[in-house]
């Protein structure tokens, strides 16, 4: 899930929500809502996070999900 990736990347870099928000020019409450899953990020916002974390949108938000057993791949 997108929210889990946002949290993981932030914590991996030992950043607070406020630090991420300041770097991206958004409010801390927006970061919190995205991490809680209250809001879904727009593609534009996803690009901003990816750039900030030095990754592509695909790498940051989708690459790990492709191989996840939670995705319930249909083998038929």
Tell me: domain 2-65, CATH 1.10.287.610, correct? no
Report which of 6, 11, 1 is spatially closest to residue 48, judged by C-alpha positions: 6
Percent pLDDT > 90 in the chain is 74
Burial of 34 (0-12, 13-18, 19+ CB in 10 A): buried
44 SS3 class: helix
pLDDT at 66: 53
Q: Per-residue pLDDT for 74 more than 70? A: no
CB 59 within 8 A of CB 65: no
Average the pLDDT over 6-24 and give the result.
Answer: 97
pLDDT at 28: 98
Q: Say what the pTM is.
A: 0.79
- Cα–Cα distance for residue pair 63/4, rounded to 1 Å: 13
Confidence of residue 39 (pLDDT cuts 50, 70, 90): very high
């Amino acid at each position: 899930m997108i929210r889990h990736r946002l949290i993981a990347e932030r914590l991996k870099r030992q950043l607070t929500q406020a630090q991420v928000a300041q770097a991206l020019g958004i409010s801390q409450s927006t970061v919190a809502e995205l991490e809680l899953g209250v809001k879904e990020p727009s593609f534009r916002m996803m690009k901003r996070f990816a750039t900030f974390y030095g990754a592509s949108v695909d790498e940051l938000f989708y690459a790990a999900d492709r191989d996840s057993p939670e995705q319930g791949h249909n083998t038929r």
